[in-house]
Chain A
Amino acid sequence: MLTIRRFEERCNYLFMQGRIPSTLHLYIGQEAVAAGVCAHLRPDDYLFSTHRPHGHAIAKGVAPRAIMAELYGKVTGCCKGKGGSMHVGDVRVGMFPAVAIVGANAPLAAGAALAAKWLDKDRVSVCFFGEGAANEGAVHEAMNMAAIWDLPVVYVCENNLYAASTPFSKAFKIQNVADRAAAYGMPGVIVDGNDVEAVYRVAGEAIARARRREGPTLIEAKTYRLCGHSRSDPRTYRSREEEEEWAKRDPIPRLAGRLKELGLASDETLERIEQEVQALIDNAVRFAEESPLPDPEDTLKHVFWSEEG
Chain B
Amino acid sequence: MALMTIAEALRQAIREEMRRDPRVFCIGEDIGILGGFGGAFTVTLGLSEEFGHERILDTPISETGLIGVAIGAAMAGLRPIADVQYGDFLFCAMDQIANQAAKMTYMSGGTVKVPLVLRAPVGATGRGAQHAQSLEAFFTHIPGLKVVAPATAYDAKGLLKSAVRDDNPVIIFEHKLLYGSKGPRAERGALSPVGEVPEEEYLVPIGKGIIRREGKDVTIVGKLLTVYRALEAAEQLAKEGIEAEVIDPRTLVPLDKELILDSVRKTGRLVIVEEDNYTGGWGADVAAMVAAEAFFWLDAPIVRVSAPDTPPPFSPPMEQFYVPSAERVVQAVKSIL
Contacts and interface: CB of A to CB of B under 8 A. Distances in A.
B126 A21 contact: yes
A82 B314 contact: yes
A43 interface: no
A234 B308 contact: no
Contacts of B310: 299-300, 303
A202 B250 CA distance: 55
A237 interface: yes
A132 B59 CA distance: 10
B60 interface: yes
Given A137-B64, A166-B30, A296 B320 contact: yes
Nearest to A71: B314
A168 B162 CA distance: 36
Contacts of B22: none
Contact of A165 (B30, B91, B128, B188): B30
A276 B35 CA distance: 40
A81 B314 contact: yes
A294 interface: yes
A101 B321 contact: no
B130 A294 contact: no
Given A165-B33, A166-B29, A296-B318, A82 B313 contact: yes
Contacts, number: 141
A102 interface: yes
B35 A165 contact: yes
Q: How large is the interface on A (under 10, 10 to 19, 20 to 34, 35 or more residues)?
A: 35 or more
Given A84-B128, A303-B310, A171 B61 contact: yes
A135 interface: yes
B127 A102 contact: no
A306 B60 CA distance: 40
Contacts of B61: 102-103, 132-133, 135-136, 163, 166, 171
Contacts of B313: 81-82, 298-299
B37 to A, nearest CB: 5
B60 A132 contact: yes
B314 A297 contact: no
Given A104-B92, A166-B58, A237 B185 contact: no
B143 interface: no
A222 interface: no
A136 B313 CA distance: 26
Nearest to A130: B61
Interface residues of B, number: 42
B314 A165 contact: no
Contacts of B315: 73-75, 77, 81-82, 84, 293-294
Given A294-B315, A303-B309, A87 B129 contact: yes
A83 B314 contact: yes
B3 interface: no
A232 interface: yes
B126 A23 contact: yes
Which of B89, B317, B318 has most chain A Cβ within 10 Å?
B318
A22 B33 contact: no
B29 A237 contact: no
A293 B185 CA distance: 27
Contacts of B33: 165-167, 170, 237
Contacts of B92: 101, 104, 136-138
B52 interface: no
Contacts of B30: 163-166
A86 interface: yes
Interface in B7-64: 29-30, 33-37, 58-64
A10 to B, nearest CB: 19
Given A104-B92, A137-B62, A165-B30, 14 more contacts: A22-B127, A73-B316, A75-B315, A86-B127, A101-B130, A135-B61, A138-B92, A163-B61, A166-B60, A172-B60, A236-B35, A295-B317, A297-B321, A299-B310
Q: List the 10 closest A-B pairs by CB distance, nearest first.
A: A165-B36, A84-B314, A73-B315, A81-B315, A236-B35, A296-B321, A135-B60, A237-B35, A22-B126, A171-B60
